[in-house]
Amino acid sequence: MEAARIESLQGIKGYPLEPNTYSSSKGLYISSRHKSSMKKSLVFEVLFLTILFLFSVYMWSLPIKNNPLPYGEVDSAHHFGIADYITEKDMIGEFYKPAFLYFLYSQRSILGGGKISTESPYPPNFFINEAIAQIIGGDRVASYYLFLAILCTSVILSSYFFIRKLFGVIPAFLSTLLIMASKIDILTFIMGQYVILVSFACLPLILYCYYKYINSFLTRKPKPIYLYIMAFFLATQYFNHFWSLVDTAVTLLIFTIFLIIKEKKFPFSIKHATIALVIFFVVLGPFIHKSVMSLQVEMFSGTAATDISDNWLGLFKWYTSGYAKIAVGQEIFSYKEMHGQWTLPLLIIGVLFLLLRRKREDLLLLSWLLALYIILHFDIFLGWGASRLFRSVNDVPYIFYPLTAIGFMGVLALIKVQFRIKKYIKYAFIAIFLVLFVNFNLKLSFEMLDKAYQYPLRINPSQYQAALWMKENIDENSIVYPQGTLIPKTKRFIRVVSHITNLEYDDDLELLRSLHPDLNISITHYFVDYSELIMFGMKKEMEALQQWEKTNFANISPIYDKNNIRIYDVRNK
Amino acid sequence: MSETNKMKFGIKELIILILIASLVFFFLNYSWIGVRLCIGILLLYFIPFYIFLDSFNLAIEEKLIFSFFISIGLIPLIVYYISRLLVSVRLSILVSFLILIVGSFIFRKFYKGKKSLFV
């Protein structure tokens, strides 16, 4: 009965009704039946994957390709600043020692501003990776952002690999296409939350390694190497953003429970698991306390938060009402906006097929889906704030899209016609899938990246030149007051490019003084900026700024006067 | 030439083709910065751990993908530790690369094929 059920659903896996054959020990996918034709298909597969990945890098690097000046929202400037400081100084010191980063961090830290350590509360890996890219690439800005695009699209490689190995070529390609154009990921990328993307990119590989190990263990030929390699991936996750470890842990736990029920035995050796854990903790080494600190921050803000669901009805929704209370664009919680309504039936079919078939790999994907559902509802179960759980939203496309692709294969498997006719039906279905993908997913995603951070939403050339000049000519401990610069993110980038504290908001000076009463903080320079006002065509404001400049600096000559920006040294005023 | 040999030759050609395509892509889109970055990533983020993983009974595609994802976690960590001694990040990157390459070759030479805990 079980065998008949599985046989009837075989068509879901990869090429319909074609077993997924590859050598497990040596080399690439080699068919035992059609070596010559497999060689050709292998070449096509690898070339397609290469094109897909390179196109993804192209698409995700459009914001820097279109304009070579730094950009980003929220933490972006901070990330750029740390990596850039390492590169410029050619040393990895204490991350928050330079004043421009220390003041920024002390203002924002919920650990207690003014009393924080100059060491970073985060592991150094992401920043050093980016500094390495800057050094190798030889360009301060382009190398940083290009490597960022590569890191953030690396999930395409890990996800393709995972789905290819477990479900075959077509589901792998289709799901990876959708991931490449995932609006959730693109919004996260644009908002500067890069580390969470890099961290989640490891998840498919962790699941693959665990699956391979469990399979080998259950067939009495254990290959613990997979478990040990998994420990390294867990460390990579931790080093980039510890939150994805929550998703990983819950998924692995549920999968293990499913396997214990299905196989009626414990699916791994305690000895192997212990060694893997030892590897994990040894690799973390002295950085283990870093994320414990971050965890405290997360938990602190989680329990203190009010962004939790109102009632248990939230259990019947993918996102509870808690998510409606957090400060992000609400379209990110809309299925239609993020994934396209057309994928929903396929997603449901995919889940149904896996529920019916229940092979080990099916249980793995179902565990992932269930784990994500549970985590996203931690606001109901544990009272954690949705603004923290929100990080797991990035996990959504990585499980939804493979399920959608499996649903697509499931629809194909349901069509009972001759093999030759089925081949044409398959091509027609793929063509329809591609048309829908291009129209409802790719076009908008491409546009989002192509139009991201146009002026005035990023530092302009006048401001960039002035910031570079400040870096060379003004003491690093100076405090600069920008007058005329309107956009906070522009001010942040002037700060990190110049390596000098540039006050972002009007009350920042008072805030810094209250946080650091011992430092005798005062404004040393004024950055009088007409460039944005000109860009916006704000004539009245320009005249007001001119008047203000005349009144305040009547007897002082600017130390910098270029491209509608003047800098005044007021230390001796 | 046997079928298997033909296959292996094909894979090498394929890898070279991909490398050339990638270099051309990076040059056309990002000029020499892209080319330098592409070569740098290959040298630092693929090769050392690929050689290390080559000691184990893994498929080529596993070694390739695993090496990149292990590297993005471990390479900066190794650079960090070495920079504690050498201070200069640039020098630390070079020394890390050399240590990893030499270490991986030595590990592979003495380990490959031996039955042990890691089988």
Q: Are residues A446 and A543 in the same domain?
A: no
* A5 has a pLDDT exceeding 60: no
Domain end: A404, A427, A450, which one? A450
ipTM entry: 0.90
Answer with the one of A417, A450, A483 that is the final residue of a domain. A450
> If residue A275 lies in a helix (H) or strand (E), which one and from where to where?
helix A270-284
Please name which of A471, A470, A453 lies closest in space to residue A529, comparing C-alpha atoms: A470
Based on the domain organization, do A437 and A465 belong to the same domain? no
Is A497 in the same domain as A436?
no
* pLDDT at residue B115 in the model: 56
Tell me the mean pLDDT in the region A432-452.
95
Question: Domain containing A168: what range?
Answer: 2-21+44-62+149-450
Contacts of A122 in chain B (CB under 8 A): none
| Euclidean distance between CA atoms A561 and A506, whole angstroms | 24
Residues of B within 8 A of A65 (CB-CB) are 29-30
Q: Residue A27 and residue B74: Cβ atoms within 8 Å? A: no
Per residue in A508-517, pLDDT (tens digit) is 888 778 777 7
Q: Which of B40, B73, B88 sits opposite A125 (nearest CB)?
A: B73
Instruction: Answer yes or no: do A321 and A430 share one domain.
Output: yes
DSSP-derived 3-state class of residue B101: helix
- Please check whether residue A313 touches B, CB under 8 A: no
**pLDDT of amino acid A24:** 38
Judged by CB atoms closer than 8 Å, whether chains meet at B6 and A47 is answered as no
Q: In terms of CA atoms, which chain A residue is nearest residue B73? A: A236
**Tens digits of per-residue pLDDT, B75-119?**
999 999 999 999 899 999 999 999 999 999 999 888 866 655 554
R_g of chain A computed on alpha carbons: 27
Residue with tokens 């000559």: A557
Average pLDDT, rounded, for chain A: 86
Q: Do B70 and A240 touch (CB under 8 A)?
A: no
Q: Residue A230 — very low, low, confident or very high, per pLDDT cuts 50/70/90? A: very high
A271-321 pLDDT tens trace: 999 999 999 999 998 888 776 666 666 555 545 557 777 788 889 999 988
Instruction: Kindly give, in sequence order, each residue whose CB lies less than 8 Å from that of residue A540, ignoring residues fewer than 6 positions away.
Output: none
Domain match, A252 and A313 both: yes
**DSSP assignment string, A164-220:** HHHH-HHHHHHHHHHHHT-HHHHHHHHTT-HHHHHHHHTHHHHHHHHHHHHHHHHTT
Tens digits of residue pLDDT in A197-214: 999 999 999 999 999 999
> A376 and A354 in one domain?
yes
Q: Check residue A372 and give its pLDDT.
A: 97
Q: Check whether residue A258 and residue A312 sit in a common domain.
A: yes
Q: Report how far residue A238's alpha carbon sits from residue A290's, in angstroms, rounded to the nearest whole number.
A: 10
pLDDT at residue number B73:
95
Residue B13 lies in a domain: yes
> A482 has which bridge partners?
A527
Encode pLDDT of A54-63 as tens digits.
999 999 999 9
Number of domains within chain A = 2
Domain holding B94, by residue range, is: 3-111
What would the mean pLDDT of A138-166 be, rounded to a whole number? 95
| Per-residue pLDDT, A197 | 94
User: Does B7 sit within 8 Å of A61, measured CB to CB?
Assistant: no
CB distance from A24 to chain B under 8 Å?
A: yes
Select from B57, B80, B112, B117 the residue whose CB has the most chain A CBs within 10 Å, as the one to mutate to test that interface.
Answer: B80
**Does A484 lie in the same domain as A434?**
no
Domain count, chain B: 1
Predicted local confidence at residue A278, as pLDDT: 97
- A7 pLDDT above the threshold of 90: no
Is residue B58 domain-resident? yes
Task: For chain B, say whether A457 makes contact (Cβ under 8 Å).
Answer: no
Average confidence (pLDDT) over A350-372:
96
Same structural domain for residues A374 and A482?
no
Which chain A residue has its CA at the smallest distance from B42's CA? A136
State the pLDDT at residue A30: 37
Q: What is the mean pLDDT of chain B?
A: 87
Q: What is the pLDDT of residues A74-100, one digit of tens each?
A: 788 889 999 999 999 999 977 777 777
CB contact under 8 A, B77 and A283: yes
A501-502 and A479-483 strand pairing: parallel
Residue A25: list chain B partners with CB under 8 A. 57, 59
Closest partner residue to B76 among A125, A225, A229, by Cβ?
A: A125
